Amino acid sequence: MTFSLKNIESNHAKQLFKDNENTSVENTHVESSPVGIDRISFTTPHYYVDLTDLAKAREIDPNKFTIGIGQSEQSVPPNNQDIVTLGAQAALPLLKYVKKDKLKMLIVGTESGVDASKSSALYIHNLLKLNSCARCIEIKEACYGGTAALMTACDYVRVHKDSQVLVIAADIARYGLNTPGEVTQGAGAVAMLISANPHVLKINDDSVVKSCDIQDFWRPVYQDTALARGKFSSEKYIEFFLDVWQKYSEQNSCDLNDFAALCFHLPYTKMGLKALRAAMDSSENLSETSRVRLLEKYETSTKYSRRIGNIYTGSLYLGLLSLLELDGNPEIANPEVVNPGAANPAATSIQTSTIQTNSSCENQKFSSLKEGDKIGLFSYGSGAIGEFFTGTLMQGFKQALFASEHIEMLNSRAKLTVSEYEKMFNSVAKYCPEDFVSDTTHRDCTQFFLNSISSQERNYI
Ligand code: COA
């Protein structure tokens, strides 16, 4: 049988048409299956320092920390914890939802990596006994790494809709004792299982990104504390947010009234509030109801961070968790409610006064978040990248959360004195070739430990 060129062309064209038909059918199907966060959990070290104690020790007015910065407590990791152990611990509750043959990737977003070459995802993969077919990688771009991981995961699942991807955002924020950044330290990890038909939040494919090479915050590879131009980084954060938000609202013909809540990267809780206020101030048609709702939901989104501190890559997602888990009952995460004897009446009024409401709307309580509500998320990583994207709440999302476990974890932490905190801070494994044996005490409430470093190899149990 012979084919003329015409036949070949037309057969080729038919095949192409068929391929395109298949593609478009598949694309339509992929787009109609929501992709996003199926399950989400976090962990933070069992130890914390009270920031009023720290302020007094540093001879600073505690109001600067609790009002000016907006932080009350700070998680402190013992030297047997690092981003590997925190990341593995955060992912533990998600394991029963992982279908072994479907898990195709484990992506860790971090700027506290334990090795300049080997991915921390491989250590976590081993600790969690995950299947060997999953790719294990680490993504770095300051506090944006968790979002880069989430976006990569969603894109992968949109193409491979039967797959799952485990995203972990883990960090230990260290600026150093007696530095301006000390009050904004913290430690923790957020783990997210990404799949089609998620139970918690559909991630919409609508990101607006801004990238620009600036020098607001960085950490040379030979040291474990960050260098920051603090005020410059705060200004850039707001500038990046306003730029991506404006572009997003133009591209999507929407405004702040369309959002049930906005969540922000929270290096400290006052930071996101400054950005939110800047957007509200420049909004021409923001209703008073929306203004008060957004402020109230913002306050709820900061409850966990206020008690944990900055967890860099995970901070935006810690804010999202705080919003979703505490919405309707934010008081349960207040330290003074948990331990009324420790309540500082001044601090209580300070905390609530960080958000000023208009008298006509004062004490107004907004309805709880519900299926279909749109949440805006702003991710910022110094250096710098800003990204604004949105999520839509799924039916029954509340039942898919681990709220009571998280609140219990926070409320059962052990308080350190300032000198205990300083000792713990200074006892961390150094960036040097010396062998290291970690603390055999301070091993409460966690399953994984950095046991030692011998001949420059890390040993986890
Ligand atoms: N009572 C109430 N508020 C007080 C106060 C007091 N006694 N003393 C100071 N404040 C307020 C200040 O007015 C200021 O508020 P404002 O920002 O709304 O103007 C706030 O507390 C901070 O004071 P400031 O003097 O600016 O703090 P600082 O020079 O110590 O630096 C950071 C604060 C956040 C810049 C610093 O902690 C830092 O460098 N952090 C790390 C980098 C970072 O987190 N960057 C964020 C973007 S990623």
Retrieve residue 451's tokens.
Answer: 């046991």
Measured distance CA(408)–CA(64) in Å, rounded:
28
Q: Does ligand 1 lie within 6 Å of residue 273's CB atom? A: no
Retrieve residue 164's tokens.
Answer: 């799952």
Mean pLDDT within 281-304:
96
Please report the pLDDT score of residue 160 as a whole number.
Answer: 97
Retrieve residue 273's tokens.
Answer: 């509030």
Mean pLDDT within 205-213:
97
Q: Does ligand 1 lie within 6 Å of residue 346's CB atom? A: no
Say yes or no to pLDDT of 326 above 60: yes
**What SS3 state is found at 33?**
coil
Measured distance CA(146)–CA(154) in Å, rounded:
12
Residues annotated as binding site? Answer: 61, 175, 274, 310
Q: Work out the pLDDT band at 222, boundaries 50, 70, 90.
A: very high
Ligand 1 atom closest to Cα of residue 229: 39
Q: What is the pLDDT of residues 110-119, one digit of tens each?
A: 999 999 999 9
Q: What is the pLDDT of residues 337-362, one digit of tens each?
A: 544 434 333 333 323 323 333 333 34
Q: Does ligand 1 lie within 6 Å of residue 185's CB atom? A: no
Mutate which of 178, 234, 269, 385 for ligand 1? The one with the most ligand atoms within 8 Å of its CB, which is: 234
**What SS3 state is found at 214?**
coil
Region of poorest pLDDT, from 62-71, 151-160, 347-356 = 347-356
Residue from 450, 442, 392 nearest 85 by CA? 450
Mutate which of 69, 147, 264 for ligand 1? The one with the most ligand atoms within 8 Å of its CB, which is: 69
Task: Look at ligand 1, atom 15, and give the residue with the nearest C-alpha.
Answer: 68
Task: Look at ligand 1, atom 24, and give the residue with the nearest C-alpha.
Answer: 68
Q: What is the pLDDT of residues 127-139, one digit of tens each?
A: 999 999 999 999 9
Say yes or no to pLDDT of 212 above 70: yes
Instruction: Report the separation in Å between the CA atom of 69 and the middle of ligand 1, taken as the mean of its atom positions.
Output: 5
Measured distance CA(332)–CA(385) in Å, rounded:
34
Please report the pLDDT score of residue 18 as a whole number.
Answer: 40
Q: Does ligand 1 lie within 6 Å of residue 430's CB atom? A: no
Query: What are residue 108's DSSP bridge partners?
Result: 138, 168
Ligand 1 atom closest to Cα of residue 234: 47
Ligand 1 atom closest to Cα of residue 142: 48
Q: Does ligand 1 lie within 6 Å of residue 181's CB atom? A: yes
Task: Look at ligand 1, atom 18, and give the residue with the nearest C-alpha.
Answer: 68
Region of poorest pLDDT, from 31-35, 105-109, 414-418 = 31-35
Please report the pLDDT score of residue 151 as a whole number.
Answer: 98
The answer to whether the CB of 324 falls within 8 A of the CB of 401 is yes
The answer to whether the CB of 52 falls within 8 A of the CB of 347 is yes
Q: What is the pLDDT of residues 293-307, one digit of tens each?
A: 999 999 999 999 999
Residues annotated as binding site for (3S)-3-hydroxy-3-methylglutaryl-CoA? Answer: 61, 175, 274, 310
Please report the pLDDT score of residue 276 as a whole number.
Answer: 98
Neighbours of 303 (CB within 10 A): 27
Q: What is the mean pLDDT of the chain?
A: 89
- Is the backbone peptide bond immediately before 403 cis, with ω within 30 degrees of 0? no
Query: What are residue 217's DSSP bridge partners?
Result: 228
Q: Does ligand 1 lie within 6 Å of residue 61's CB atom? A: yes
Triad 165, 168, 172: Cα angle to 5°: 170
Q: Does ligand 1 lie within 6 Å of residue 410's CB atom? A: no
Cβ neighbours of residue 342 under 8 Å, at least 6 residues apart? Answer: 335, 336
- Domains of the chain, by residue range, sit at 35-329+370-460
Please report the pLDDT score of residue 353 as a whole number.
Answer: 29
The answer to whether the CB of 44 falls within 8 A of the CB of 75 is yes
Say yes or no to pLDDT of 5 above 80: no
Task: Look at ligand 1, atom 47, and give the residue with the nearest C-alpha.
Answer: 234
Report which residue type is found at 135: R
Ligand 1 atom closest to Cα of residue 61: 7
Mean pLDDT within 200-207:
97
Say yes or no to pLDDT of 7 above 50: no
Pick among 3.40.1010.10, 3.20.20.150, 3.30.365.10, 3.40.47.10: CATH of 35-329+370-460:
3.40.47.10
The answer to whether the CB of 249 falls within 8 A of the CB of 262 is no
Retrieve residue 54's tokens.
Answer: 């720290």
Instruction: Report the separation in Å between the CA atom of 452 and the middle of ligand 1, taken as the mean of its atom positions.
Output: 37
**How large is the greatest C-alpha to C-alpha distance in the chain, in angstroms?**
93
Please report the pLDDT score of residue 355 as a whole number.
Answer: 32
Between the two ends of the chain, the Cα-to-Cα distance in Å is: 68
Q: Does ligand 1 lie within 6 Å of residue 34's CB atom? A: no
Neighbours of 287 (CB within 10 A): 12
Ligand 1 atom closest to Cα of residue 267: 44
Retrieve residue 306's tokens.
Answer: 């206020």
Say yes or no to pLDDT of 268 above 60: yes
Instruction: Report the separation in Å between the CA atom of 325 and the middle of ligand 1, taken as the mean of its atom positions.
Output: 28
Q: Does ligand 1 lie within 6 Å of residue 183's CB atom? A: yes
Measured distance CA(429)–CA(360) in Å, rounded:
54
Mean pLDDT within 430-453:
95
Please report the pLDDT score of residue 30 as a whole number.
Answer: 44
Residue from 126, 86, 95, 128 nearest 313 by CA? 86
Please report the pLDDT score of residue 367 as a whole number.
Answer: 80
The answer to whether the CB of 177 falls within 8 A of the CB of 189 is no
The answer to whether the CB of 53 falls within 8 A of the CB of 130 is no
Q: Does ligand 1 lie within 6 Å of residue 63's CB atom? A: yes
Cβ neighbours of residue 236 under 8 Å, at least 6 residues apart? Answer: 214, 216, 382, 384
Task: Look at ligand 1, atom 14, and give the residue with the nearest C-alpha.
Answer: 68
CB-side neighbour CA atoms (13 Å) of 77: 32
Q: Work out the pLDDT band at 286, boundaries 50, 70, 90.
A: very high
What are residue 149's phi and psi, to 5 degrees? -65, -45
Of all residues in the chain, the percent with pLDDT exceeding 70 is: 85
Ligand 1 atom closest to Cα of residue 265: 48
Q: Does ligand 1 lie within 6 Å of residue 69's CB atom? A: yes
Task: Look at ligand 1, atom 42, and give the residue with the nearest C-alpha.
Answer: 230
Helix residue ranges per DSSP H, 105-214? 120-127, 145-159
Cβ neighbours of residue 210 under 8 Å, at least 6 residues apart? Answer: 240, 243, 244, 247, 385, 386, 387
Say yes or no to pLDDT of 22 above 50: no
Q: Does ligand 1 lie within 6 Å of residue 240's CB atom? A: no
Instruction: Report the separation in Å between the CA atom of 273 and the middle of ligand 1, taken as the mean of its atom positions.
Output: 13
Say yes or no to pLDDT of 26 above 90: no
Measured distance CA(225)–CA(449) in Å, rounded:
21
Active site residues: 111, 143, 265
Strands 414-416 and 47-50: parallel
What are residue 349's phi and psi, to 5 degrees? -70, -30
Task: Look at ligand 1, atom 6, and give the residue with the nearest C-alpha.
Answer: 64
Say yes or no to pLDDT of 187 above 90: yes
Neighbours of 399 (CB within 10 A): 8
